[in-house]
A = this chain, B = another copy of it.
Amino acid sequence: MTQSRRKFLSILSFMSFGLIANAEPAKKKQLSHHVFFWLKDPSSKTDLDKLIQGVQALGKIPQVKKIHVGVPASTEKRDVVDNSYSVSELLFFESTEDQKIYQDHALHQKFIQEHSMLWDKVVVYDTMEV
């Protein structure tokens, strides 16, 4: 390859990158679906592990773009902080339609059937990013 040809290809590659960068669409607003579970028996490590495993498997549903599963963090105790729940399930979707497909999905329905006996309270917060 000649020096001039190499330079030409280098410029071409730089220009293409510029075009791709400019063509990139604006970041899609995400819908967060945050579910808090209170176990019937909060002292049962077996029930906790079973629920955590069940929740983690929900990440296989294609509409779920991101999943964050956890337990109350050891942050400072304050009046406004609710750390009474057992498991937190935080999922991200690209639209309300995707969240609906997830709700009706066989894997989600199976999760409810096989785990709902473990909890006595659930609170859900659905948020659309602004």
- Give A residues with C-beta under 8 Å from B: 29-34, 36, 52, 68-76, 78, 80-83, 85, 88, 90, 92, 96, 99-100, 103, 122-130
- Pairs A-B, 4 closest by C-beta atoms: A70-B127, A73-B126, A73-B128, A88-B127
Look across to chain B and name the residue whose beta carbon is closest to the beta carbon of A90: B32
Distance of A125 Cα from B34 Cα, bound (Å)? 10
Q: A81 to B130, Cβ gap below 8 A?
A: no
> A interface, by DSSP: helix, strand, loop or mixed?
strand
Beyond known contacts A29-B70, A68-B129: 19 more, CB 8 A cutoff: A31-B70, A31-B73, A34-B90, A34-B125, A36-B125, A69-B130, A70-B127, A70-B128, A70-B129, A72-B126, A74-B96, A75-B99, A75-B126, A80-B124, A82-B124, A83-B125, A83-B126, A88-B125, A90-B127
Contacts known (A69-B129, A76-B103, A128-B72); A123 close to B82, Cβ less than 8 A = yes
Q: B100 to A75, Cβ gap below 8 A?
A: yes
Distance of A34 Cα from B70 Cα, bound (Å)? 13
